[in-house]
Amino acid sequence: MGKSKLRAAILGVTGMVGQQYVRMLENHPWFEVTTLVGSRSAGKLYGEAVEWIDSYEPPARIMNMPVKVAEPESEDVDLVFSSLPTEAAYQLDTKYAARFPTVSDASSYRMEPDVPLLIPEVNPDHLGLLEVQRRKRGWKGSLVTSPNCTATGLVIALKPLHDAYRIRKAVVSTMQALSGAGYPGVPSLRIIDNVIPYIKGEEEKVAAETKKMLGAKSSDAISPDPMGVSVMVHRVATIDGHLESAYIETERPVDVEEAKEVLRDFRGKPQEMKLPTAPERPIIVMEQDDRPQPRLDRMAGSVPGMSTVVGRVRRGLDDHSLRLTLLSHNTIRGAAGNAILIAEMMHELGYLE
């Protein structure tokens, strides 16, 4: 291991998001995975415990590492990535965060007032909450959360439009991939030849998280954005990539071609800082009538799976409205990739010291 690399632990390492962490961190220039944590898989080698479903060949180094039981009090790492299920994360994320900088994909603490809910291109200033968090909780470490996978792609697309036109209302209908349900996902006889128009708690999460991420930070809290957000969710038989159709109403008049340029031109702090996992273009705008499509476009961009792909941008009912379709890779940008990008930004801003 290079001396300059920070030692990273992955919690919940055998799941679908855990597998993305393994893949994305294997040749990372700043971080190296040194600790794997699981519950049912504890005591086994990773290669014995994991049912690998990615087409990528997992690294032998990781496959031969033991999976440990969670021991936050005795861990010897520099940072922690948590992809634990909600209940386990509720028990363990704060125990790790008390000692180490921790980035969690779980929903357990996303809406806590002193916990940043972060997309690095959208609301990097929300990291300022960590000073409040450490002071209030007496932590040596910290906890930052990565958003719901559906909210992530949506908010990336809404952010530049909101800055340019002030969005009053967003009405969103989603078509969400099976991997969003975790492994083994949805039983085959429920989803083949079918669409399920319900995912427990998802509509409420996406609406609340969108408003928090687009909200304004004061000295010690986030004021949710007043934008109205209505979400209807559907589970569909694609493997990866959440497709979403959005109808947006704005305070200022919208020109369609100008709106496309606003989306294309969007850049954030990760691009300015040239972070390793930052895509050159956070938003890719497609002109084809029938794009984006999950199978064709979920890995688009300079860092595959990290860009939100937007298409079918067109006028709504009047010149204060817009319709568009967006696609985001739910286990990369919507989970592991976004969390790694958060950690990279924290590293460059001094939050991992």
* Residues recognised as catalytic: 149, 242
Which H/E stretch holds residue 257?
A: helix 256-265
Contact 345, 271 (CB under 8 A): no
Q: How far is CA 148 from CA 108, 259, 275, 331, in A?
A: 11, 25, 22, 10
Spacing of C-alpha 207 from chain mean position: 15
Whole-number Å distance between alpha carbons of 118 and 209: 10
Nearest in space to 130 (alpha carbons), one of 117, 111, 120: 117
Whole-number Å distance between alpha carbons of 234 and 177: 9
Backbone torsions φ then ψ of 158, nearest 5 degrees: -75, -35
Contact 48, 11 (CB under 8 A): no
Whole-number Å distance between alpha carbons of 118 and 292: 25
